[in-house]
Structure 1
Amino acid sequence: MTQRGYSNKQGPRSRGPAAPVAEALGTGRPTGRTGSAEPSHYARQDASNDRFKLTYYDPPAGLERHVLALFHFEWDEDEIVDRHPGALGQLFLTPRGRGEITFGAHAQPVEGGVAMFSGFEVAAPFRIEGPWHSFGASLSPLGWASLARVPANTSLNRLLPAHDILGDEVDGFADDLNHRYRSGKTSGEQACRELGEWIAPRIKPIAAAHEAVIERTLGWLGSSLNPDVESLFATLNYSRRQAERLVTRYFGFTPAALARKMRAIRSANLLSQPDLTDEGEAEIAAAFYDQPHMIREIRRYCGYTPARLGGAGEPLFQTMLRMKNLDRLKHYRNIGAKDSG
């Protein structure tokens, strides 16, 4: 190996085994579930480190396909510099902290209140004046479509005031919840619970045929680090042009662009693992034309060269690269297969 995760070769070998859909999306909770001792509390998973606290909670029953996880985040340093991969949409509240996030040459304020995003084309750097506290919901493509009701591709690379999408009532809900959190009357876990309960009745169904497009695209993404676009079109009951339009609407990218982005994020995810297996190395090697190609793609979508993926800088981004939501997204896919049948 000339570099960890890539062999000496000139072209791609055979693809590695099918990866879970969670890794295809490159986000979610860490593997495994840790249930609360109190039945009234959501199951939780701790992804904290020595810099910040990050806790994930299961969504309310019935929302598993729409909300991949609820999260509570606390980083109590005065100045915070990191980046966000923006692999999936979010609805999030910020009771503490403000700063800015940069998309290309455009810097956008990060302020208190409640905001949404559908995803980022590349990892976005941000700077926050702390302490920074946030809680929110990580949305699946179906969740974004069913809650936001706007095409994902029209909302890329920007933070949107949530009221622009969900109406003014979300501001009243967020103002009250943020105030109670700041005053210590409401915990992060309770805030996540209330957010999940607020979202649940606002989820609206989308056309069954369009839901099938989402399910099949997720399955296609999870089939390989480098899935063949033609194999996706073969599973969709639409013309190529219509299929591309629908995938772009619900995922934010054309199938080819989506596969390219997720290949880089998933490869970075694997390379960041301290216990990367030979099988994982072989799968990464098979996904790119050669080593320089891998380096360029990971740098483009993650902002890092592969040699830096295990470094100490930008700890939140490092944590998010390691995130998996294997149990949640496996459940999501199983439900989808059942519904499709």
Structure 2
Amino acid sequence: MQVKQHQVCTRCVMDTSASNISFDQDGICNFCTSFERQLNEVVFATDETRAIRRAAFIEQVKKAGKGKRYDCVMGLSGGVDSSYALDLAVKEGLRPLAVHMDNNWNSELASSNIKNLVAGLNVDLYTHVIDWPEYKKLMQAFFDADVIDVELLYDNAMLAVNYSQAKKYGIKYILSGSNSATEGMPMPEGWNWRKWDKTNIKALGKLGGVKLKTFPVVGTVDYVVNRVIRRIEWVPYLDYYDYQKDQALELLEREYGYKRYPYKHYESIFTRFYQGYLLPEKFGVDKRKLHLATLVMSGQMSRDDALAMLQESPYPVLEGLETDRRYFLKKMGWSEADLSSYLARPEKRHDLYPSDRAFWDWMRKTYQAYSSRTKA
């Protein structure tokens, strides 16, 4: 097999660690070209255009929530994106129910940030605490299967918990901190797995001897029911604003005593260890490339600064890596030999195990074909 020569995009910082990357004659990659083609209208919209879109959307949310206790659900992780989105929603006069999914890996800093934020904004917070023994067994099953996306468990459960609260209160809009300005770059093939794959979660759990009892989970059919029948919309709320991450951090620090994390999604101890150590060591994946490339393309960081950051360790303080390593081993009940064995084993694809990806792909193609016919 021919080894692909290492190459870095001349415009962003994506490189050949992404298996499906390609470059044009100027060395510009397909990832930033896709970002430019699909998201420039959102990321670089004029203030006037954003204001019109935002006012219309907020009116829709308030109208749909009239007479109800809340007019929207707001997923809250404690990260800057979701925290700033909650601040903006309240200041626009919306009445959100903040929803947090606690999988027992929260850092103390994240817990403090969430507490200060909801108190300062005077909003209700619903926290769903995952049953740790069951969740631990599911995580172990994913590790034993050697698949890349262990965080499929958290992400899927987060979707399920937010939808359950929207259903409970008859809410039509779930607002999230996801956004094009910091997350718009398409995910490289093989760097994660489809977040709605309940079949894959159950199959991997079964292989590990785990039967789901309390774990919240959603699949493709659940998506259709929530989106089409219940008409619950999941909205990247920050796309209605000129989202500048540094400005958002400064506001959160000033008004709520918010404390920063070194990198995106590091509010979770596991996510920090997973993205900062396990992914690079076992799978050769550094997700900072994707995050930093998006910031470069949205004009929030220079390419030179992004490249310089990638020369640094995912753990800015090496003592932090050792602390997280010990914490992970203790919490998972692993020995150093267990960790070494895990890192040494080859990766296996998620679809080597039962999955509903084929069903999802068929549903998507059917919907696209139907949409094309109705527009013709």
TM-score range, shorter chain: under 0.3
Q: Which has the higher helix share?
A: 2
Question: Higher Cα Rg: structure 1 or 2?
Answer: 2
**TM value normalised by structure 1:** 0.25
**TM value normalised by structure 2:** 0.23
| RCO comparison, higher one (Cα < 8 Å, 6+) | 1
